[in-house]
Amino acid sequence: MKTFHCGSLVPGCQWHTRSDSEAEIVSRAVDHLREAHGETIIRPSIVEQIKERMADDQSAA
């Protein structure tokens, strides 16, 4: 299980998600960036930053 915390990309944001699928996390994070932070263009560099900030969720065991 992987997790992503938006605050690692957007300081102060408390939103987070987790999934077994990296693609699902990226999809959810992109949707969140659009809806909560008003991002209209999601560049490949943002997707890479999301992937880099994913972590293994040890609490899911």
From first to last of the 61 residues of the chain, give the pLDDT tens digit: 999 999 999 999 999 999 999 999 999 999 999 999 999 999 999 999 999 999 998 775 5
Tell me which H or E stretch contains 51.
helix 44-52
Q: Where in the sequence is the domain holding 13, given as residue range(s)?
A: 2-60
For the record, the structure tokens of 38 come out as 């008003």
Is 0.85 surpassed by the pTM of this model? yes
The total domain count for the chain is 1
* Bridge partners, residue 17, by sequence: 4
Q: How far is 6 from 1, CA to CA, in rounded Å?
A: 17
In this prediction, residue 57 carries a pLDDT of 84
In this prediction, residue 24 carries a pLDDT of 98
In this prediction, residue 59 carries a pLDDT of 72
In this prediction, residue 21 carries a pLDDT of 96
For the record, the structure tokens of 49 come out as 């930053």
- 19: helix, coil or strand? strand
